[in-house]
Homo-oligomer: A and B are copies of this chain.
Amino acid sequence: MEQGVEDTLYEARVALDDLRDAWSLLDPEERIEAFQSLKTGEAEEFFLGLSSNDQAQILAGLPQLQRQLWARSLAPDDLADLVQATPDDQRGALVTLLDEPTRRELVALLAYAEDEAGGLMNTRYGRLRPEMSVDEAITYLRKQTPERVESIYYAYVLDQQSHLLGVVSFRQLIMAKGSAKVSEVMTTDLITVPDEMDQEAVSRLFAQHSFLSLPVLDAQGRMKGVVTADDIVDVVREEATEDIQKIGGTTALEAPYLEVRFVDMIKARAVWLVVLFIGSMLTISAIRSFEGELARASVLTAFIAMIISSGGNCGSQASTLVIRAMALGELKMRDWWRVFLREASAGLVLGGILALLGLLRVVVWHHTFADDQGAPYYGDHYLLIGLTVAGAVVGVALWGTLVGALLPFALKRLGFDPASASAPLVATLSDVTGILIFFTVASTVLSGTLL
Contact = CB atoms under 8 A, between A and B. Distances in A.
A295 interface: yes
A309 B431 contact: yes
B170 A153 contact: yes
Interface in A303-336: 303-306, 308-310, 312-314, 316-317, 319-325, 328, 330-331, 335
A318 B208 CA distance: 34
Contacts of A258: 325, 330-331, 335, 338, 342
B175 A173 contact: no
A11 interface: no
Contact of A298 (B206, B232, B291, B324): B291
A260 B7 CA distance: 52
Nearest to A266: B349
A338 B171 CA distance: 50
Interface in A217-265: 228-234, 236-237, 240-241, 243-245, 247-250, 253, 256-258, 262, 265
Contacts of A330: 24, 256-258
Residue from A142, A301, A346 having most chain B Cβ neighbours under 10 A = A301
A341 to B, nearest CB: 11
Copies in the complex: 2
B241 A212 contact: no
Chain A interface main SS type: helix
Interface stretch (A62-70, A97-105, A273-281, A442-450): A273-281
Interface stretch (A30-38, A108-116, A282-290, A409-417): A282-290
Given A229-B212, A273-B310, A306-B280, A146 B174 contact: no
A345 interface: yes
A280 B257 contact: no
Contact of A247 (B237, B247, B253, B302): B247
Contacts of A379: none
A4 to B, nearest CB: 13
A334 to B, nearest CB: 10
Contacts of A323: 244
Contacts of A175: 142, 146
A206 to B, nearest CB: 5
A142 B174 contact: yes
Contacts of A207: 233-234, 237
Given A277-B354, A308-B309, 4 more contacts: A244-B323, A247-B320, A249-B316, A301-B301
What 10 A-B pairs come out closest when comparing CB atoms? A248-B320, A240-B240, A229-B229, A423-B423, A257-B325, A283-B305, A170-B170, A313-B424, A153-B153, A287-B302
